Chain A
Amino acid sequence: AQSVTQLDSHVSVSEGTPVLLRCNYSSSYSPSLFWYVQHPNKGLQLLLKYTSAATLVKGINGFEAEFKKSETSFHLTKPSAHMSDAAEYFCVAASPYNTDKLIFGTGTRLQVFP
């Protein structure tokens, strides 16, 4: 069975400092992996996706994530946080064989202080 674990429920950073949101997955096959962001009272917006091409994936708003099969990780990073990055971030997995059932992590709330 697939599962996604987000290792931190809350992360706080100062504006201009790096962001690291951690995600580990468990799967018997190579999954598709995504990061979504949810701003307050909004739906989810796709930041980036990994689909077995390049292991380093660049997304919108300066975010990127690296797929590391040996560590079963897909951590999200950004070199310099902006106040507008404050939101909830979800690491998500999908099976290539059960195409439409997304498995969500529990989310990481990112706070950015001035």
Chain B
Amino acid sequence: KAGVTQTPRYLIKTRGQQVTLSCSPISGHRSVSWYQQTPGQGLQFLFEYFSETQRNKGNFPGRFSGRQFSNSRSEMNVSTLELGDSALYLCASSTLRDRGSHEQYFGPGTRLTVT
């Protein structure tokens, strides 16, 4: 079974631009979560989608948005990029789980550099 895939793997953008990152979950997984990883802040939860609906959201400004398609693939968008948005963006997928399981499978990430 193929793992979580993220595209592109590397991206360089300039301040003020916008960017769209893509995540394809493991086949059969309907939940997709996004995380931002930076040296200063560590790993922080962005949002989670299930069946095309956002179920949870972290403490990020409205410039960060996402969506999920009917095939469970997800995109996240960052508008008006700032230097501080440079980070590794990780996507994770999971199935509907038994209570307390919560196992998430992570993709390799997209490395975004804002100049």
Contacts and interface: CB of A to CB of B under 8 A. Distances in A.
Nearest to B32: A100
Contacts of B50: 100
B27 to A, nearest CB: 17
B36 to A, nearest CB: 11
Contact of B102 (A32, A41, A43, A106): A32
Contacts of A94: 102
A28 to B, nearest CB: 16
Interface string B71-93: 00000000000000000001010
B46 to A, nearest CB: 10
Contact of B4 (A43, A90, A100, A103): A43
Contacts of A103: 45
Size bracket, chain A contacts: 20 to 34
Interface of B: 4, 31, 33, 35, 42-45, 48, 50, 55-56, 58, 90, 92, 94, 97, 99-109
B33 A102 contact: yes
A92 to B, nearest CB: 8
Contacts, number: 63
Interface of B is mostly: strand
A105 B42 CA distance: 8
Contacts of B33: 100, 102
Nearest to A52: B100
B80 to A, nearest CB: 26
A3 B4 CA distance: 27
B99 A46 contact: no
A45 B106 contact: yes
Nearest to B33: A100
A44 interface: yes
